[in-house]
Structure 1
Amino acid sequence: MRAAGHRLAPALALFAAALCACRAEVIDDVLSSLSRGASFLERQHAHINLDGVVGFLMLQAELKEAVRTWPHSDPVSWAQRTTAVALVKRLDQSFDKAVAALQRNDPKYYREFEPLLSWSFWLVPREWSSTDRSLLYRSTMSTECYDEQLSDKCLTLLLGTWKMNGTPCIVTKPCRDTMTRFDCPHYSLSHQLLYFMIGRMRGCTNLLKGDTRPSRANMTERSYQKIFCSNMMKTNQDIMREGLTEQTVDIFMENILICGLTGFSDFYKADWLQHILGMQDAEVGCFGRDGESGDRGGGAAGRSSEEQGSHALCLSSPESVVSQIIGDELLEQLQPHRRVKRREKILADGCSSHMTAVAVGALGGYLNFYLSEQDITKRPLS
Structure 2
Amino acid sequence: MSMSEQILTNARLVLEDEVISGSLVIRDDRIAAVDAGAVTVAGAIDCEGDILMPGMIELHTDNMEKYFQPRPKVSWPGRQAALAHDAQMAASGITTVFDAVSIGDVDDQSMRHTALHDMVEALSSITRSGISRVDHRLHLRCEVCHPETLNRFLSLAELPQLGLVSLMDHSPGQRQFASLEAYRTYYQGKHGFDDATMNDFIERQLANSAEYSSAHRQSIAEACTQRGLALASHDDATIEHVAESLEYGTRIAEFPTTREAAEASHRHGMAVMMGAPNVVRGGSHSGNIAAAELVKSGVLDVLSSDYYPAALLDAVFRIADMPDGYSLAKAVACASLAPARAVGLDDRGHIAQGLRADLIRVRQLDDHPLVQRVWSGGKQVH
In the superposition, the TM-score normalised over structure 2's length comes to 0.24
Considering Cα pairs closer than 8 Å and 6+ residues apart, tell me whether 1 or 2 has the greater RCO.
1
Greater helix proportion: 1
Greater strand proportion: 2
In the superposition, the TM-score normalised over structure 1's length comes to 0.24
